[in-house]
Amino acid sequence: MSDPIRDHVEAFLAKLRADPVFAGKVIDTNDPKDAAPRVPPYIVVYSNIPTAESDRSTGMLPNKLDFQFTVQCAGQNANQSRAWAGKALMLLTGWRPVVAGWKPQGVTKRKISIPLQFDKTFTPELVYSVDIYDLTSRKA
Residues spanned by the domain of 38: 4-139
Question: CB burial class (10 A; 0-12, 13-18, 19+) of residue 20?
Answer: exposed
pTM: 0.88
Count of structural domains, the chain: 1
Q: What is the pLDDT along the chain (140 residues), one digit of tens a residue?
A: 578 889 999 999 999 999 999 999 999 998 888 876 678 899 999 998 776 666 555 556 678 899 999 999 999 999 999 999 999 999 999 999 999 999 999 999 998 878 899 988 887 889 999 999 999 999 98
Predicted local distance difference test score (pLDDT) of residue 61: 65
Residue 115: in which H helix or E strand, if any?
none
CATH code, domain with 45:
3.30.2000.30
